[in-house]
Amino acid sequence: MYYMNVRYKCEIANATEVKPGLKEWHERLAHQNLQYVRMVLKNNNIEIKESDFKCEGCLQGKIHRMPFSNSESKTSRPCELIHADICGPMEVPSVGGSRYFVIFKDDYSNYRSVYFIKGKDEVKRCISDFLNKAENVTKNKVLYFRSDNGLEFMNNEVRKLFEKRGIIHQTTVPYQYRTRRVPEQNGKAERENRTLIEAARTMLCATDLPKKLWAEAVHTAAYVINRTSKSNETGKTPYETWTGKQFDITGLRIFGNPVYVHIPKEQRRKWDPKGEKGIMVGYSEDVKGYRIYFLKNNRVELKRDVVFLEKGEEQKEQLVMLDITKNKEECINNKSPEQPKDRK
């Protein structure tokens, strides 16, 4: 019997990173118009020299985009005036069971916050939560709150909330008394609803994802617009004006892209896969991570250790590595394999 000294070599394939083009950035930025996309890239020192193109998702999701007029109000700081509106009920409940979403938009910064609810009886809770967070982040007190005359905004609980906080509630003329010559008095919030719905519909059309993901798409649209659009007056994004912080857009990814999520070793056996396939459907507002939809279990979870599969028009699939869990011991192991332990 002969013994030979053999050194095992584990080949590790490194994916070559390919810079995203105009189409990929258009999709990452929630399918905003190309002029807007080029402006965002220029402001972030990202060079793109590609020509314009036709996006099928945009052609399906929005026939036209009418120019929006400036708000009739003039404010000088965040939280001076908040616009609010509710949208729904949706024809299909979200994955979490929501049928409506409530939008709060700051008049000065244009920062928007979106809440998803199952019924209108939850609006008061959303208002209270938004006011607490808004005043805590901006260090400013909310002075005016503008909404329509819907019962979700016009009830004793909401009235007492505003009285306790010293907020003046401005309401619009009831819809039945409006004429075509009277402009929408709560137009800023109502136009915001249209903007978010168009962007969400477009993202769903472009990815062929089910309608039940509408809430994730709406939240993603609000998240992206908050961090990319810039005010003509301040030259800052809504996020920067609202929080005083800048945002790095290189962390944005294409809504609906397939991903692989790392499975912690505590949740798998020895020979179980280390990654689970899912679909990226959004971002977290509070912590660093992505919202991932898992089709087989119909659930959306927040994950940090994610590998993205992004595909360009004329490119092969590329791996965008965000977090890699290294385990060299499993690459080369000359010892006898251990018996897999039962899951707890």
Does pTM top 0.85 for this prediction?
no
What is the per-residue pLDDT for 2? Answer: 55
Domain hosting residue 53, numbered range: 22-66+74-244
Question: pLDDT for 5-39, tens place per residue?
Answer: 555 444 434 445 567 888 888 888 888 888 888 88
CA dist list (Å): 7 to 2, 10, 94: 16, 10, 54
Q: How confident is the model at residue 186 (pLDDT cuts 50, 70, 90)?
A: low
pLDDT exceeds 90 at position 177: no
For residues 148 and 272, membership in a common domain is answered with no
Residues 217 and 264 in one domain: no
Do residue 214 and residue 96 come from a single domain? yes
pLDDT digits (tens, 9 = 90+) for 311-339: 543 333 444 444 333 343 443 344 433 44
> Look-up: residue for tokens 């189409």?
23
Instruction: Tell me the pLDDT of the chain averaged across its residues.
Output: 81
Give the number of domains in the chain: 2
> What CA–CA distances, in Å, run from 109 to 78, 82, 135, 193, 316?
6, 10, 14, 17, 40
In a domain, 250, yes or no: no
Helix residue ranges, H only, 142-183: 156-165
What 3-state DSSP class applies to 285? Answer: coil
- Same domain, residue pair 124 and 225: yes
174 — pLDDT class (breaks 50, 70, 90) = low
The string of pLDDT tens digits covering residues 224-271 is 999 998 877 778 999 999 999 999 998 999 999 999 998 888 888 888
- Residue 339 in any domain: the answer is no
pLDDT of residue 26: 86
Strand runs labelled E in 22-130: 81-87, 100-106, 112-117
Q: Where are the alpha helices (DSSP H) in the chain?
A: 22-28, 34-43, 56-61, 123-138, 156-165, 187-207, 214-228, 238-243, 328-331
Give residue-wise pLDDT tens across range 61-86. Answer: 765 544 444 445 689 999 999 999 99
**Which CATH number characterizes residue 34's domain?**
3.30.420.10
Q: What are phi and psi of 261, to 5 degrees?
A: -110, 130
**Secondary-structure percent of the chain, ordered helix, strand, coil, rounded to 5:** 35, 20, 50
Confidence at residue 62, expressed as pLDDT on a 0 to 100 scale: 65
Instruction: Report the distance separating Cα 185 and Cα 175, nearest Å.
Output: 10
DSSP code of residue 80: S
From residue 212, give the alpha-carbon distance in Å to each of 200, 208, 275, 296, 305. Answer: 12, 12, 25, 14, 25
pLDDT at 132: 98
Of 52, 50, 34, nearest to 315 by C-alpha is: 50
Are 312 and 164 in the same domain? Answer: no
